[in-house]
A = this chain, B = another copy of it.
Amino acid sequence: MTSASIAVVAGDGIGQEVMPAAIRCVDAVTAHYDVSLDWREYDWGSDFYRRTGAMMPVDGIDQLSKHDAIFLGAVGTPDIPDTETLWGLLIPIRREFQQYVNLRPARTLPGLTPVLRADQPIDMVIVRENNEGEYSEIGGRYARGTEAEAAIQEAVFTRTGITRVARFAADLAVTRRGSLTSATKSNGIVHTMPFWDEVVAGVVDEVAADHPGLTLRNVLVDALAAALVLRPWDFDVIVASNLLGDILSDLASAITGSIGVAPSANLNPPRRYPSMFEPVHGSAPDIAGQGIANPIGQIWSGALMLDHLGQPRAAAHLVAAFEQALADGVRTRDLGGTAGTEEFVTAVLANIDSVGPTLDAQQE
């Protein structure tokens, strides 16, 4: 029996609802395998901020570093600026732990009404650079309050940063359909984006030397956004900068039917630091506290975490269980159904017991 220690930060809004829901599902599935997770909860977030003036303690990063992984709910609340909440908790974790890959799968799920009329199956993964680029702290305001006021923001791209995320994406594409798309805007953003293109092409050349099936397409982000709507089934792995990846991944999950289902993994691939798993959706203050939040984004993020912890069978089992619930028509409101969070979780828990053995048999 292996065990892993998980830092749990449920955070704000619906994070408080989808997190316990997901933990129950993950525990139920690990009971079928040779692994147990040891959850350690941290009450960090906006309430903590209201009490202490900070989103986490001064030694927060240090405390998290002792765990094998971080399971995050949602961060953000209407009455505190995002520059305090997100930049006080989510962004520092991504950066301090060099979680330079933000992995965001988007694929067709059973039982969901397709958004697009032409509903060929969609199965893509967006590999978003998660540490540098357009999200930089460098910049500021000039001549504040005057007519002449200006704000400047520097985007910073490094060879190191682009190389490592491109390598991850290329390696991932090799294990899938071998088709890598790089989002660019080198026709408009003339300093950083041509550099991005150059480094990505170099990495792909290297990886392709051993895997000649690997192909690279550079697609301008505006055309890519359009293509994701017109023929999303054409895409396998997409690598993108921090901002472009942020936009494209929300778009890709909307195309598959809902933002509420999208998971993400913030990975430190060398495993020097813990990785973090969180749904793509936010704290959704408008529906928080009503028991109606869709827990799939959090549960699926839990599956990505199991995979990362070396438990791919448990991960696949968990995914199969929530997919079965969807196939059976159990759906939360954002998906056009009537189920509450609890009803959906009950269905997943039942499926964990029923779909489990089948899956085991298949995979062995």
- Footprint of B on A, CB under 8 Å? 76, 82-83, 86-87, 113-118, 134-135, 137, 139-141, 146-160, 185-196, 221-223, 225-227, 229-230, 242-243, 246-251, 253-255, 258-259
Q: What B residues does A225 contact at CB under 8 A?
A: 225, 247-248, 250-251, 254
Q: What B residues does A140 contact at CB under 8 A?
A: 191
**Contact (Cβ within 8 A) A191 B139:** yes
- Copies in the assembly, this chain: 2
Known: A83-B187, A230-B258. 16 other contacts (CB 8 A): A83-B194, A115-B230, A134-B188, A139-B192, A149-B158, A149-B195, A151-B196, A152-B155, A152-B157, A152-B192, A188-B246, A221-B247, A222-B246, A222-B250, A225-B248, A226-B254
Smallest CB-CB separation from A250: which chain B residue? B222
Q: How far is the CB of A251 from chain B (nearest CB, A)?
A: 4
**Of B87, B114, B186, B227, which one neighbours A82 at CB under 8 angstroms?**
B186
* CB<8 Å pairs between A and B, sample of 13: A82-B187, A83-B186, A148-B158, A148-B159, A149-B158, A150-B158, A151-B191, A152-B155, A222-B246, A222-B250, A225-B225, A226-B253, A247-B247
**Contact (Cβ within 8 A) A222 B247:** yes
Q: How far is the CB of A362 from chain B (nearest CB, A)?
A: 33
Knowing A115-B116, A159-B147, A160-B147 are in contact, say whether A83-B254 is a contact too (CB < 8 A): no
Q: How far is the CB of A119 from chain B (nearest CB, A)?
A: 8
When chains A and B are docked, how far (Å) is the Cα of A155 from the Cα of B243? 13
When chains A and B are docked, how far (Å) is the Cα of A287 from the Cα of B76? 47
Smallest CB-CB separation from A280: which chain B residue? B222
**Contact (Cβ within 8 A) A189 B150:** no
When chains A and B are docked, how far (Å) is the Cα of A209 from the Cα of B140? 31
**Contact (Cβ within 8 A) A189 B82:** no
